[in-house]
Amino acid sequence: MSKQLMELIKKEIMILLRDKQTILLLFLMPVALILFLSLAMEGVWADKLTGRKIQLVIENESRSPKANLLQEKIKSNKLISPVVRPQGMEDDQLFADGKAQAVVTIPKGFEEGDQPVEMYFDPIIDIGYKIAIRSLITSLTVEVVMGIDNLEGVIAGLLVEKTKPNKEFPTPLQQNVPAYAIFAMFFIAIPMSVGFLREKKDGTLQRLFTYPVSTNLVILGKIIPYYLINVLQFVLMLLIGVYVMSHIISFSFNLGEHPWHMIPVTMVVAAATTGFGVLVAALARTPEQSSTLAATGAILMGVFGGIMMPHVLMPMVMKKLAMISPMYWAHQAYLDIFLRDAPLAAILPKLMVLAVFAGICFYIAGRRVQWM
């Protein structure tokens, strides 16, 4: 029996390898998505994870000793990137050209309280940065006017930050590598279903059943190769993320304290994606239908499941809707490993959801498919 199974697996792999376009789709598509989307969104993640310096124009109209001191304190702050105003350029043009996000004017008499320090912000600046810069300029102005050497140090003695390290927001690679590996794994439904329908149409399946081989063995011979390809897909995407992408963008790929938990997660995810392929093969009647159904289903699951848009950035309604997508549970299982150092017991509920999804797919397919 094992020899028969090996021959069936070999046959399926040879058929798949003849379709070079499908191989390119399965392996190059996730690589391209990981590369270009990580590069495109690197700045967004940098803002969320590490913050960014605000490009600030400082106009010192007073030139008094205190005004000069305030100017130096603002320019030397780690949140500020000082910018020199181009000759003749107005504030609105500065913002429109992206040369600055804010303008601070220190007027004559500000130290006596005759004129306040003026702040002018780019209207589209993130509200969080606006609040942070307003707070910074306010505290530095108070330092200079009241003669306090280090107001931040004084406040530090009164307030202590107890924020825990980030355990929710992934880096670009932690988000994109598992996300688009999962996304591509679901596309296994296209070659799997197309191959099945073609073999059924040209009589290959019928000829197989003329040999002394059981139906279950034929099914396993068709499923196992695609299951193994899915596992290989994820392994290759992970290696690319760790050893290639981490040298291209400015974020490393932290695998968490228990990277070996990826083994059971990947095995269950591959079962879910293979089950989806079997379901598509059972529901579609032509190769064209199967390709459309598989691609549309994968894209919709990706949209809802936090693949296209990080789940942590979704509005609450979309976060709840995401739970209908198996991609959500698969992606969150990997993020549990990468971000939250979760024990396997904490990941098991997500794996159970994926196992149930796979079981439902195989059950429906088993009831609908007509082998002969």
Write 128-131 long-range contacts (CB < 8 A, 24+).
Answer: 129/52, 129/54, 129/101, 130/102
Distances (CA, A) of 341 to 168, 234, 256, 345, 368: 11, 20, 6, 12, 41
Q: Which of 114, 110, 116, 129 is nearest to 56 (CA)?
A: 129
Domain count, the chain: 2
Examine the fold and report which residue of 127, 156, 185 is the final residue of a domain before the chain moves on: 156
* 135-165: pLDDT as tens digits: 888 888 887 777 766 666 555 555 665 555 5
Same domain, 109 and 217: no
CATH number at residue 99: 3.40.1710.10
Q: Is the pTM of this model over 0.95?
A: no
Same domain, 322 and 348: yes
* pLDDT tier at 332, thresholds 50, 70, 90: very high
* pLDDT tier at 270, thresholds 50, 70, 90: very high
**Mean residue pLDDT across the chain:** 82
Same domain, 336 and 246: yes
- Domain range for 60: 51-156
